[in-house]
Amino acid sequence: MNSNRRFILKALAAGGVMSATLGGCSRVSNPQQAEQSSSDKDWLKAQSIRDAIVVPSFAEQQFNIVDFGAQSGSDHDCTESIKAAIQQCHESGGGQVRVPAGIFYTGAVHLLSNVNLHIAKGATLKFITDPKKYLPAVFTRWEGLEMMGYSPLIYAYKQKNIAVTGEGTLDGSANNQTWWPWKGPHKEAHWDHIVGEDQKPARMKLMQDAENGVPVAERVYAEGAFLRPPFVQPYECENVLIEGIKVKDSPFWLLNPVLCKSVTVRGVTMQSHGPNSDGCDPESCDHVLIENCTFDTGDDCIAIKSGRNADGRRVATPSQNIVIANCHMREGHGGVVIGSEISGGVNNVFVEDCTMDSPELERAIRIKTNSIRGGVIEHLRYRNINVGKVKNAIVVNFFYEEGDAGTFDPTVRDIIIENMDCQQVLKKPLYLQGFERAPMYDIKLKNCHFNNTGEDSIVRHVNNMTLDNVTIDGKTVALNDVLSPS
């Protein structure tokens, strides 16, 4: 059989979009059919990610923290009682550590394998604001940098099959005069600044330690450093479930799984308007599902990360295989965000059926990086995004924070956004700003509509951008209509 005939039969057997004759082939591709096939393949990949995520299950036995001495009320510190219940549950083969109705005060909670910390309906686990309750220092990541720091309020290190579930509330108590003021002098619309200690000196020193390759064990930034701990941080864990709970008033990022595999965040309400109150930040994680969650935050609602600068490149672990579905974003700096601590890269992100609506929502879809952060950001898919009010709709910015001050040009490519409907864009529908020497490329918008816009778009240094049925204020626009002078 000649090679031409073999090629034809292979294409036909694969359902290819060409017609052929045995004497040769005449390419009459159907672009619409090919495009649909490609889209279907993308979302089949999203389903395969869902199917591959392991959701932990637990033994039926329960360990009520009251049976270990915990008492409701501000006069009682339940830290040791909760620790004892978790230890007993773990040693007994796992199960549920139950926080019953009431308000229980505690310091740091450290989860162990096969333990489901269950916050019952009517229960609040309220975290004490004395920083000493989060010592000794633990191995953690802070703004994408590894260090020894204050324990996250709920922490797990190298554990398997863990969960925080229930209909109750985790209250970080950070809206008092302890945690949030550590941000230092800072103008922020979402919170009332109280002058206090300042994280800036330690933050700058930690960044320099990372650039200098100082061993992590020597990067001790706990007491006296004023670097606020995240709320929930499983670190290098497998099979993590966070479901049903309300998380409020976090010192720092709310949910921050780091270097984890198989993470499910489902039906969680996140409400915190303090500085750096990101809602859910999967960082260097593989196979993550975030669905049916509500975000009302003082920073990004969801921010996918993978380490910062030299530290991110050293660990070299991307965030990948992430599905975000049926979430609602209210206030925040961004709805679904990638970056800015993204030096390890990100790939295979699928976002669908989300709603976003608030005059205080800064951006709907956002990618932020620069030539210090770098990172390869690729294969991102968004569909069925309904936006009420937002300040800026789609933002991809290569000049975030430090600007163009490094030698690690980011790579941003292969992005498709389809069926995005914005009712009111208070500022720019599109803000895409690449580098002239390193443009972003392969960006496609399909069936996207931006209404009641306040400002013109800015689109610079984007190669191979396609607009298919894109309207701004009711007018169909072509690429030349949105391109800006370099």
Show which residues are catalytic. Answer: 299, 333
Distances (CA, A) of 20 to 25, 36, 37: 4, 21, 20
> Of 65, 114, 120, 57, which is closest to residue 91 (Cα–Cα)?
114
SS (H, E, C) 363-389: EEEEEECCCCCCCEEEEEEEEEEEEEE
Distances (CA, A) of 222 to 36, 106, 132, 274: 53, 19, 9, 20
> Of 331, 276, 279, which is closest to residue 304 (Cα–Cα)?
279
Alpha-carbon radius of gyration of the chain:
24
Task: State both tokens at 107.
Answer: 């310091």
Residue recorded with tokens 């950070």: 174
Distances (CA, A) of 67 to 49, 70, 436, 461: 40, 7, 64, 63
Residues 6+ apart with CB under 8 A from 139: 146, 148, 157, 216, 235
Distance CA 467, CA 342 (A): 27
Distances (CA, A) of 206 to 201, 310, 368: 9, 12, 21
Strand partners, 283: 258, 305
> Of 120, 161, 340, which is closest to residue 246 (Cα–Cα)?
120
Strand partners, 258: 235, 283
> Of 413, 418, 402, which is closest to residue 367 (Cα–Cα)?
413
> Of 369, 358, 383, which is closest to residue 435 (Cα–Cα)?
369
Q: Reading across the β-sheet that carries 220-221, which strands appear in turn?
A: 138-142, 145-149, 220-221
On whether the CB atoms of residues 156 and 226 are closer than 8 A, the answer is: no
DSSP for 83-137 reads HHHHHHHHHTT-EEEEE-SEEEEES-EE--TTEEEEE-TTEEEEE---GGGG-S-
